Amino acid sequence: MEIAITIVVIFVGSYVQSSIGFGLAIIAAPVLFFIDPLYVPAPITISALTLSVAITYKHWHAISFRELKFAIIGRVPGTIAGGFLLLWIEQRALAVWLGISVLAAVGLSMSKLVLKPTRAAMFSAGVLSGFMATSSSIGGPPIALVMQHEENDYIRANLAAFFIVSCLMTLTMLSSIGRFGLEHLLLALPLMPATLAGYWMATKTLHLISDNNLRRLSLVLCGAAGCAAIASYWL
């Protein structure tokens, strides 16, 4: 039953991220953490890496490395800081941090802030994304917030390209602190078919669903999951 829930959650998260550019980790992390804390962050990061490669391949023409490089540079110190947090925090407290990360991600995604992808904004988003992604697997919203007013294909392509580099940085950091090994890789393998199936389904149905409606529904579900993760500390 647990593996079935895991597969469904990854499928839904992959579908959402393939549609709007981010969302896999926000949806999957709080649910999978309840099933097995080992899913967060390494196996979900592997799933996100797989999905990002597929999206990047499809939208390669829309990638702007000139802007992305500043986010990638900022990602380095954020990744290191997130790794140190994992060394310091205990598992029960990690559930609270995960919930806070989800709610912060939802808040950023709903924000009315109007940010332009300047060098400073991209660097700052990269730092915050690296910190959140390495410690909780949720790193999409900060960089998505900076890009939110760009064209849809541009957003999907550049977020995916950024996530490829980001996921590799995160996995390298996790490996160096003993949070990524064979055990995590074996947990991640069953997630791959669901990840690719969600991507495939999105490519076939994207024109039928409003991005805004999908985004709102996803944020409501994520908000509920984030609150549940925080509440679990006292249960």
Contacts of 14 (CB under 8 A, 6+ apart): 24, 47, 51, 194, 195, 196, 197, 198, 199, 202
Ranking 122-136, 141-155, 185-199 by mean pLDDT, the lowest is 141-155
Say if CB 123 and CB 86 are below 8 A apart. no
Confidence of residue 86 (pLDDT cuts 50, 70, 90): very high
What is the per-residue pLDDT across 13-48, written as a single tens digit (0 to 9) for each?
A: 999 999 888 889 989 998 999 899 999 999 999 999
pLDDT in tens, 114-133: 778 899 999 999 999 999 99
Number of folded domains that form the chain: 1
pLDDT beyond 90 at 212: no
> Is the CB of residue 78 less than 8 Å from the CB of residue 126?
yes
Residue 133: per-residue pLDDT: 93
For residue 235, what pLDDT band results from cuts at 50, 70 and 90?
Answer: low
Indicate the pTM of the whole model. Answer: 0.91
Sign of CA dihedral 155, 198, 10, 175: negative
User: Average pLDDT over the chain, rounded to whole?
Assistant: 91
pLDDT at residue 92, as a whole number: 79
Domain hosting residue 152, numbered range: 2-234
